[in-house]
Amino acid sequence: MTLEQPTPLELSRRSLRARRSRRSTLTALASTLVFATVLYLAVTSAPGWPRTQATFLNPQVAWESLPKILEGLWLNIRVLAVAAVATLVLALVVALLRTLRGPVFLPLRLLATGFVDLFRGIPLIVLLYLIGFGVPALRFTDERINPVYLGTVALVLTYAAYVSEVFRAGIDSVHPSQRLGARSLGLSYGQSMKLVVLPQAVRRVTPPLLNDFVAMQKDVGLISLLGPLDAVRAAQIASQSTFNFTPYVVAALLFVLLSVPTARLADWASARATRREQSGAAL
């Protein structure tokens, strides 16, 4: 029997499968609707609902604050782009330094370990304050240092400490015989790392990296603590002038929208990674 001409048996199985999948889609749809209705009724019937609605979900306030918050969000996005790239580079360097062996590299290894211990341990908020207010106090320049830069630096230091550990775990997870195989072909340490170990490590840690990226997408909002006019700060200003919390809800929704594509990408990447692991032959 050829692949192009399935037997009647296979055809009937296929139509059964199609019917089943249609039915389960309908079931999912129905249960979602029911659930949403119940949730809606429960929330709207709460005694404080009218007041909450007025202070948190005021459509007019939302509409009026939106342009400023969007403008602020653009700053967040730019900071995010720079910080993400800088984090990847710094984290990779730190991870590579930590994998170096041999007494010559001890100082570098210690430095890298110290970096991770320090910046993974300091709460991001504290680091933001320390760098945002501490560095200007040193008066390296007479001009005022843009707080956006300082906030970005704090963000990068914290995230690089985390992400370098992710990279290191990835490097360690590459089977030792891969490294040995690369060396046995005469590749140098650097060549084995670059051409054999790192490509495999990076593939493996892509899902956790994307997860950290999602976390970073919302943590860029913390730079507002140093004063720059980002989405959170814009929401704060709008909220104070209207005596209404709706702008915060707007900002929150925008941050969620920003993170959804990355979250889906992370899902997809980790599903693909799982598939690969499972299909990879035992050998």
Partner 1 sequence: MPSGPVARDTSLDLPPGPRRSEEVVLDVRGLVKAYDDTAVLRGIDLTVAEHEVVTLIGSSGSGKSTLLRCAGVLEPISDGQILLDGQDISDPRVDADGVRARFGVVFQAFNLFPHMTVLDNITLAPRVVHGVPAKEARQRAEALLDRVGLADKADAYPDRLSGGQQQRAAIARAIAVEPRVLLLDEITSALDPELVGEVLALVRELAGGGATILMATHEMGFAKQVADHVVFLDQGVVCEEGPPARVLGEPTQPRTQEFLRRVIDAGRL
Answer yes or no whether residue 102 interacts with partner 1 by CB under 8 A.
Answer: no
| Selected binder of partner 1 within 1, 41, 104, 282 (CB under 8 A) | 282
Q: Give the residue from 183, 209, 207 showing the smallest Cα distance to 197.
A: 183
> Which whole-number Å values give the CA distances from 117 to 86, 112, 162, in the listed order?
19, 9, 10
Sign of the C-alpha dihedral computed for residues 225, 230, 231 and 235 taken in this order: positive
- 37 vs 188, beta carbon nearer partner 1: 188
- 143 vs 277, beta carbon nearer partner 1: 277
Can you tell me whether residue 283 is helix, strand or coil? coil
Q: Give the residue from 87, 75, 89 showing the smallest Cα distance to 119.
A: 87
Q: How far is the CB of 175 from partner 1 (least distance, A)?
A: 5
Can you tell me whether residue 5 is helix, strand or coil? coil
Q: Give the residue from 70, 117, 97 showing the smallest Cα distance to 258.
A: 70
- 47 vs 190, beta carbon nearer partner 1: 190
Q: For residues 278 and 273, what is the distance between their CA atoms, to the nearest angstrom?
A: 9
Structure tokens at 171: 């490097």
Answer yes or no whether residue 103 interacts with partner 1 by CB under 8 A.
Answer: no
Answer yes or no whether residue 104 interacts with partner 1 by CB under 8 A.
Answer: no
Work out the widest C-alpha separation in the chain, in whole angstroms.
83
Contacts with partner 1 in 165-224 (CB under 8 A)? 175, 177-178, 180-188, 191, 195-196, 199-200, 203
Q: Which residues contact 104 (CB under 8 A, 6 or more apart)?
A: none
Q: Which residues contact 83 (CB under 8 A, 6 or more apart)?
A: 152, 155, 156, 159, 216, 220
List, in sequence order, every beta strand (DSSP E) within the chain.
Answer: none
- 137 vs 283, beta carbon nearer partner 1: 283
Site string for partner 1, 131-170 (x = CB under 8 A): ----------------------------------------
Helices 246-279/49-56 angle, 10° precision = 90
Q: How far is the CB of 108 from partner 1 (least distance, A)?
A: 22
- 3 vs 283, beta carbon nearer partner 1: 283
Contact 160, 87 (CB under 8 A): yes
| Selected binder of partner 1 within 2, 5, 45, 279 (CB under 8 A) | 279
For partner 1, how many residues bind (rule: CB under 8 A)?
24
- 204 vs 233, beta carbon nearer partner 1: 204
Can you tell me whether residue 39 is helix, strand or coil? helix
Q: How far is the CB of 235 from partner 1 (least distance, A)?
A: 44
- 106 vs 180, beta carbon nearer partner 1: 180
Q: How far is the CB of 282 from partner 1 (least distance, A)?
A: 7
Q: How far is the CB of 147 from partner 1 (least distance, A)?
A: 42
List interacting residues with partner 1 (CB under 8 A): 175, 177-178, 180-188, 191, 195-196, 199-200, 203, 276, 279-283
